[in-house]
Amino acid sequence: MAETIDVTPTEQRVSPKEPQSAITLAHVLYGLHALAPFTMLTLAVVAMIIGAVKRDEVRDSWLETHFLWLSRTFWWGLLWWVVAGAAYWIISFVTFGVGAIFAWIFPAAVFVWYLYRVLVGWLKLGDLKPIS
């Protein structure tokens, strides 16, 4: 007797019921967040303001998960930037600058984490998938 194998994908693509302008806006927000670490998070603040103003347009849709993802990325990123920056300066001060050789790892880790989250979300948006 032949065994059947279920090959149904676990994550389904979401049909874009939202207007193309909302999807384009989400791409723009991801682009601003991707550039944000290179602008001392200035572009992230701009993206957060735009996202807050436009959030009602995507409420109760799969795109809302992307807006929430970017919002959480920003707020957690801001917290970790402050913690990593404080750790860097405290370690550098206490060790008379010698610790700065190793303390740069903290801000660098936050930088990589932030860009990783933006990239993961952006790729899912490109596939028209919600953030799960």
Report the pLDDT value the prediction gives residue 63, as an integer from 0 to 100. 96
Q: Is residue 119 part of a domain?
A: yes
122, 114 contact by CB (below 8 A): no
Q: Is residue 8 part of a domain?
A: no
Low-confidence ranges of the chain (pLDDT < 50): none
Torsion of the alpha carbons at 11, 132, 21 and 56, rounded to the nearest 10: 140
Q: Is residue 51 part of a domain?
A: yes
Q: Is residue 4 part of a domain?
A: no
Q: Is residue 2 part of a domain?
A: no
pTM over 0.95: no
Report the pLDDT value the prediction gives residue 19, as an integer from 0 to 100. 85
Percentage of the chain lying above the pLDDT 70 cut: 86
Report the pLDDT value the prediction gives residue 107, as an integer from 0 to 100. 94
Q: Is residue 131 part of a domain?
A: no
Owning domain of residue 67: 20-126
What is the 8-class DSSP label of residue 61?
S
105-126 vs 62-94: helix axis angle to the nearest 10? Answer: 170
Report the pLDDT value the prediction gives residue 23, as an integer from 0 to 100. 96
Q: Is residue 1 part of a domain?
A: no
Report the pLDDT value the prediction gives residue 6, as an integer from 0 to 100. 54
Q: Is residue 85 part of a domain?
A: yes
Strand segments, DSSP code E, in 3-84 are none
Report the pLDDT value the prediction gives residue 10, as an integer from 0 to 100. 53
Instruction: Give 114-123 contacts, CB < 8 A, sequence gap 24+.
Output: 114/33, 114/36, 114/37, 114/73, 114/77, 115/34, 115/37, 117/69, 117/73, 117/77, 118/30, 118/33, 118/34, 118/70, 118/73, 119/34, 121/30, 121/66, 121/69, 121/70, 121/73, 122/27, 122/30, 122/34
Structural domains counted in the chain: 1
